[in-house]
């Protein structure tokens, strides 16, 4: 199924080919491009071997087009992008920027779909209240 991912700031397309492309930097402020799967729940990633981080490190995510930070407004540990499906319906996608932490949330109105073995670290009800505030 064809899906697009766009930056919430400039709405530039982040998905090229089979990957979503992010400009990132590790805790030593080293910069690198990080390619993630557009499949929700698929945590495989591609990067150059010289760009290093380890599990537990906080990775900074930036839009490669407008260079703005992609941290969500309500939780600094969650990255926010917009997914557009084949019917042009938009979803807010949030995922953890902590390396090795697998938690992804797909939000449309009051509906939250959760993926990833660590998603309970950001519990649904806690997220739900924040989402409601965020979406108003």
Contact status: 7 vs Zn ion (CB under 5 A): yes
Stretch of 20-28, 57-65, 95-103, 121-129 contacting Zn ion, by CB under 5 A: 57-65
Contact status: 16 vs Zn ion (CB under 5 A): no
Three-state secondary structure call for residue 22: strand
Give the end-to-end CA distance of the chain in Å, rounded to a whole number. Answer: 30
Contact status: 66 vs Zn ion (CB under 5 A): yes
- The least CB distance from residue 6 to Zn ion, in Å, is 8
- Candidates 23, 33, 40, 65; binder of Zn ion (CB under 5 A) is 65
Contact status: 10 vs Zn ion (CB under 5 A): yes
C-beta closer to Zn ion: residue 38 or 116? 38
Counting residues that bind Zn ion (by CB under 5 A) gives 7
Stretch of 10-18, 49-57, 100-108, 123-131 contacting Zn ion, by CB under 5 A: 10-18
Instruction: Give the C-alpha separation, 18 to 79, whole Å.
Output: 20
Contact status: 9 vs Zn ion (CB under 5 A): yes
Decide: 79 and 62 in contact? Cβ < 8 Å.
no
Beta bridge partners of 46: 35
Q: Which residues contact 16 (CB under 8 A, 6 or more apart)?
A: none
Q: Which residues contact 64 (CB under 8 A, 6 or more apart)?
A: 14, 21, 22, 23, 33
Give the other-Cβ count within 10 Å of 7's Cβ: 21
Q: Where does this chain bind Zn ion (CB under 5 A)?
A: 7, 9-10, 12, 63, 65-66
């Amino acid at each position: 199924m064809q899906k697009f991912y766009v930056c919430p700031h400039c709405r530039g397309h982040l998905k090229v080919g089979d990957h979503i492309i992010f400009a990132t930097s590790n805790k030593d402020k080293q910069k690198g491009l990080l390619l993630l799967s557009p499949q929700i729940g698929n945590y495989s990633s591609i990067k150059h071997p010289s760009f290093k981080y380890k599990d537990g490190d906080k990775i900074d995510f930036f839009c490669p087009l407008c260079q703005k930070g992609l941290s969500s407004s309500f939780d600094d540990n969650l990255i926010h992008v917009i997914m557009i499906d084949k019917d042009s319906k938009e979803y807010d996608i949030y995922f953890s920027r902590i390396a090795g932490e697998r938690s992804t949330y797909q939000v449309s109105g009051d509906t939250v779909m959760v993926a990833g073995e660590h998603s309970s670290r950001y519990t649904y009800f806690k997220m739900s209240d924040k989402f409601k505030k965020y979406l108003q």
